[in-house]
Structure formats: C-alpha cells, structure tokens
Amino acid sequence: MGQKIYRYAVATRLSHWVWVLAFGVLVSSGLQIFNAAPYLDASDKSNPARRVLSIDSPADGVGTTTIFGRTFTTTGWLGFTDDGMGGRSPRAFPGWITIPAYQDLADGRRWHLFFAWVASVCWLAWLISSAIKGNLRDMVLRPADLPKLWPMQAYYLKLRAEPPPHGLYNPLQKAAYTLVGFVIAPLVVITGLALSPGIDAIAQPLTWLLGGRQFARLWHFTSMLLLLGFFAVHTFQVLTQGVFNQMNAMISGWYRLGEHDGVGP
C-alpha cells in the first residue's frame, strides 16, 4: 500500500462536483435548445448552403442526420425520437437526454442560463482560490513538460516500463486540464455569449471573429462535444486507474500514491 497524500483542496473537490452537476444540466438543456432549430450553419445569418449538421425527420417514423452533406438514417436516436411524453415524434435529440424531457424551449433556456452562471462563477471561484493557494502550479502545463508528453503516452501504450518523472500530475494530465480549464471551458462560455444579440451589440468584434451568429452556435456545439470527449476519457481513466482511490480522493481529498505516481509537489 502506497503512501497517502492530501491531493485535492476543498475548493477543488467542491468545484469538481458542482461542475459535474452543471455540465450535465448544461448539456441536457443545451440539446433541448438545439432541438428548436436542429441544424448548424457555418455562417452569420442562417444559410442552408453552409449547413454543417442537420437533424431531420423527412417522413413520419424516420429520423436522419446529415453531416457535411452525407445523410445517415438515425431513427430512434436522432431526428425521430422519444418525445418525453411516452411516444415518438419528429425531434432531433431524444427526450431521455434533454431537460425537460418533453419539448420546451423556454424551460430549456431557463435551466441553461441559470447553470451557465453556476458553472462560470464556480470556475472563477476555483481559479482565484487555486491561484492564492498555489495549486495551479501543479496542474498547468509548462514548456518543461512538453518533452515528457510522448514518453508519458508511450507508458500508457505499454511501450515504456516507467512514466517520465513528474510531480502531482503527469504531463498528459496537465495538458488535458490546461486545455479543458483554460481553453475549451472559456471557449464554450464565450461562444455561448457571442450568439446572443445583446452581447453582439456590446462586443461586435467577438461575434464577427467567430464568423457570425450561426457560426458561434456551431462553435458552441463543437466546444460542447470537446468537453464531452474530455468527460468520456476522464471517466474511462478514473474507472481504470483505481476507481475507489480516485473517487475517495475527490471526496475526502486523500489519495493513495501508486507505484508509478509522482511523489507529489
């Protein structure tokens, strides 16, 4: 049994679980909002000629998904799905994945705009707290970590017996946390704001830089997919790298070091 270290500060643990909740709500309510106009255009105003994604129900009982002009039949999953009221109807994302389950744009927006605040305020509070305590140093990727990225990946691929020496987090973890915490998460907030007419009026260059309102909507959706991708990999890692130790650490703060873990700060 390895040595136990205090790995996660209260602010980190609390914000981690607030984000789990907020992210779940934001994705489900976001898909509810998407359902009101189930297509994404790489343009400022709506333009079917620049349509990247479209989820349709071309005939009763049929759902299709068109990506970059290629159409796939997705009945039951996308396009013609669970309507959240015990039946199936033309609906892009199914009711079991949206909040509320039935089609309701107004309430989807209500959840989304509330939890956008929860997630953003939580991010800011975590950032300030971590900066003050100095925890950020352990997790932000630095130039010195770059040469260690491949050796770490090689270790995961079992091409190397030992991970490169590292601190509390390994270089790949640092890269992932830095990318998610300081690039993708801010991007999802900025792109969400940019598709609002009130923000566009205040910060015209922002919406313009993203390619316009429909493009901002496309970026918003894409950055959500990237966060979902991180969530999937993150969950897989937790499940395969000593799930009870990891879960316990994110609840109590105490983590039992494994033989290949770094020795801490």
Beta bridge partners of 62: 59
User: Looking at beta carbons only, is 16 or 110 nearer to another protein?
Assistant: 110
Nearest approach in angstroms of CB 62 to another protein is 22
Per-residue H/E/C for the chain: CCCEEECCCHHHHHHHHHHHHHHHHHHHHHHHHHCCCCEEECCCCCCHHHEEEEEEEEECCEEEEEECCEEEECCCCCEEEECCCCCEEEECCCHHHCCCCCCCHHHHHHHHHHHHHHHHHHHHHHHHHHHHHCCHHHHCCCHHHHHHHHHHHHHHCCCCCCCCCCCCCCHHHHHHHHHHHHHHHHHHHHHHHHCCHHHHHHCHHHHHHCCCHHHHHHHHHHHHHHHHHHHHHHHHHHHHCCHHHHHHHHHHCEEECCCCCCCCC
User: Looking at beta carbons only, is 131 or 247 nearer to another protein?
Assistant: 247
Nearest approach in angstroms of CB 248 to another protein is 12
User: Looking at beta carbons only, is 119 or 152 nearer to another protein?
Assistant: 119
User: Looking at beta carbons only, is 121 or 132 nearer to another protein?
Assistant: 121
User: Looking at beta carbons only, is 14 or 203 nearer to another protein?
Assistant: 203
Nearest approach in angstroms of CB 258 to another protein is 16
Nearest approach in angstroms of CB 215 to another protein is 10
Residues that bind another protein (CB under 8 A): 24-25, 28-29, 33-34, 36-37, 44-46, 84, 95-102, 104-107, 109-111, 113-114, 116-117, 193, 195-204, 207-208, 212-214, 217, 235, 239-240, 243-244, 247
Nearest approach in angstroms of CB 10 to another protein is 23
User: Looking at beta carbons only, is 10 or 240 nearer to another protein?
Assistant: 240
Nearest approach in angstroms of CB 193 to another protein is 8
